[in-house]
Amino acid sequence: IAAGLPGRGRAQDALEPNTWEEITSYNNYYEFGTGKEDPARYAGQLTTEPWSVRIDGLVDRPGDYAFADIMERMTVEERIYRFRCVEAWSMVVPWNGFELADMLDLAGVQEGARYVAFETVLRPEEMPGVSRPVLEWPYVEGLRLDEARHPLTIMATGLYGRPIPNQNGAPLRLVVPWKYGFKSIKSVVRVTLTADEPPTSWNVANPREYGFYSNVNPEVDHPRWSQASEREIGGGLFARRKPTLMFNGYEEEVAQLYEGMDLAENF
């Protein structure tokens, strides 16, 4: 698989992953609260066993797929990816996971499908943050089918070779490394293949600030802050900013997905 992706191996070599502590103590998972430390504090109460993912919509074999059954049929590998939050901070994360395309093939994608919609689990009794209307719950996200099938797009189930902690989206979460972090939806319970562009939570909450694509792009600012630079987590009080890379450094691999598109328009 890596042979088909000339850029990836090279890009990976240069990356120094953030520590386990950094990756698991600074999270945005608003279902557990809006503070960065809230997910680490409260996500422990989320029940992740048993877990199943409903795959439905335009697929040949719709149904509830048990997490264990999915894992049995997937090839898990390590992917060290840059992670760029829309808030202009970033990390490098050593994920373990499998390609989303493989999971979609379990259910068999039908001809008319053009988009993939995702949904996060919603359990008010285990998620203290959802009692507040910060966003509409459950959290939903979406990708175009070609983005979803791109070999860089994975479902992560682990971190540093260990099961992924709840605050990072256990037991499985999407990771789309060339998009802002909020696209990489956590604790997925439903994947729906659709013909039309599905709604996405942040776009519904504030369409002016968050587009459907949300590709990392240093030239298109968030209305309230610049996206030209970012601060890598872990640098302490005197961390320097560094320039943000087009498509978060994955331009070579993904730019062709957006050929001919105005990226300022389709932000």
Tokens 């698991």: give the residue.
24
With binding defined as CB under 8 A, does residue 20 bind other proteins?
no
Buried b (16+ CB within 10 A) or exposed e, 198-207: bebbbbeeee
Closer by beta carbon to other proteins, 14 or else 237: 237
Residue from 17, 62, 128, 234 that binds other proteins (CB under 8 A)?
Answer: 234
Task: Please answer whether residues 247 and 255 qualify as being in contact, where contact means their C-beta atoms are separated by less than 8 angstroms.
Answer: yes
- What is the enclosing helix (H) or strand (E) of 10? helix 6-13
Q: How many helices (H) and strands (E) does the chain have?
A: 8, 12
With binding defined as CB under 8 A, does residue 134 bind other proteins?
yes
Sign, CA dihedral 95-167-48-63, equals negative
With binding defined as CB under 8 A, does residue 131 bind other proteins?
no
With binding defined as CB under 8 A, does residue 233 bind other proteins?
yes
- Coil, strand or helix: which one is 113? coil
Closer by beta carbon to other proteins, 230 or else 253: 230
Residues in the annotated binding site for Mo-molybdopterin: 27, 30-31, 85, 120, 168, 173, 184-186
Residue from 75, 236, 259, 262 that binds other proteins (CB under 8 A)?
Answer: 236
Selected range binding other proteins among 25-33, 55-63, 112-120, 190-198, rule: CB under 8 A: 25-33
With binding defined as CB under 8 A, does residue 160 bind other proteins?
no
Q: How far is the CB of 231 from other proteins (least distance, A)?
A: 7
Closer by beta carbon to other proteins, 75 or else 131: 131
Instruction: State the burial class of residue 155 (Cβ atoms within 10 Å of its Cβ: 0-12, 13-18, 19+).
Output: buried
Rounded distance between C-alpha atoms, residue 44 and residue 155, angstroms: 21
With binding defined as CB under 8 A, does residue 45 bind other proteins?
no
Interacting residues with other proteins (CB under 8 A): 21-22, 25-26, 30, 34, 36-37, 87, 89, 132-135, 205-206, 223-226, 228-229, 231, 233-234, 236-241
